Amino acid sequence: MSVQPAASLPDTEPALPHVISATAPGTSATEFLADARDTVRRRLREHAAVLLRGFQVGGVDGFDRVVRAVSGEPLTYAERSSPRSTIKGQVYTSTDYPPAEEIFLHNENSYQATWPLTLFFYCITPPDTLGATPLADTRRVLNLIDPAVREEFARRGWTVIRNFTPGFGVPWQQAFNTEDRAAVEAYCARSGIEAEWVGRDGLRTTARRRAVHQHPVTGEQVWFNHLTFFHVTTLAEEVCEGLREMLDEADLPTNTYYGDGGRIPDEIMAHLRDCYRSAQRRFDWQRDDVLIVDNMLAVHGREPFTGPRKIAVAMAEPSSPA
């Protein structure tokens, strides 16, 4: 299939993220949100992300109060795909990957039957260099994708196959927050996931999902999926080659396909990655920044970094296909 290069769209989209700065030193974030919550949520739908800067947050406990002020009860991180540590309650570290590694742009938990509509990031300690949480508007990404590619995914959907193999990635016990196989099977059954136990302690899951969704609030069409992030070719080239040499394709830790199981050509995946990168925007973290992201309107990632970067994360407002 011939793929048209990602188009260059005029840079007239709203700023990403939209920045709201405290008007006076020491302004409490939660007190500000008591009056400005509706405004912040409107800006979130328009811009896809809002950055609160210069406010007094009050540490992790204060961050939890910010989450509740904007979105209510924070969610538990379930069906995990990356290593995280719990800081307190439902506040987690951002993904615990080595600092030299990039984390590609993605929508949080978009491979699941339900996902958080709103994400929160809190800068406890900024990095010394780089370490941004880059963002891209999924409405813009959708428009950048070659129409024929977009239409094929809209028609066929996408499939993710995950292999939980001892020694590779997150173990199934951590991913599903249980050591009870029956509990895993029940979760998969109600979440539209096929589960197959492999060998003595391995698990293979298969889930078929939509690639294009309708936003539940704005009604807009958005490119919302994990198919690029989970595809083996999105890994670093040497890692991708090593895994392909070491394992049969069916045994790769994660890989994605069209919804009917058809193989996605590598050039299609390269085109999708180009579209994400063309839409990407970045900012440098400052201490006590709080970033609020509409998880269906924006993807996020992580740059490599140096220094003691510590970003707390929380998720809220469960959502599911319209």
CA distance 237 to 190: 36
For 185, residues 6+ apart whose C-beta sits below 8 A from its C-beta are 195
3-state SS assignment for residue 12: coil
CA distance 196 to 202: 9
pLDDT in tens, the chain (322 residues): 566 655 555 556 679 999 999 999 999 999 999 999 999 999 999 999 999 999 999 999 999 999 999 999 999 877 656 666 889 889 998 877 899 999 999 999 999 999 999 999 999 999 999 999 999 999 999 999 999 999 999 999 999 999 999 888 889 998 998 999 999 999 999 999 999 999 999 999 999 999 999 999 999 999 999 999 999 999 999 999 999 999 999 999 999 999 999 999 999 999 999 999 999 999 999 999 999 999 999 999 999 999 999 999 999 999 999 7
Strand partners, 56: 28
Given a contact cutoff of 8 angstroms between Cβ atoms, the answer to whether 108 and 117 are in contact is no
Domain ranges of the chain: 18-97+113-127+283-295+305-319, 141-275
Q: Give the pairing type, strands 290-294 and 158-164.
A: unpaired
pTM as predicted: 0.93
CA distance 196 to 281: 40
Given a contact cutoff of 8 angstroms between Cβ atoms, the answer to whether 116 and 297 are in contact is no
- CATH code, residues 18-97+113-127+283-295+305-319: 3.60.130.10
User: 135: exposed, middle or buried (C-beta count within 10 Å: 0-12, 13-18, 19+)?
Assistant: buried
DSSP state for residue 251 in the 8-state scheme: G
The CATH architecture one would assign to domain 141-275 is: 4-Layer Sandwich (3.60)
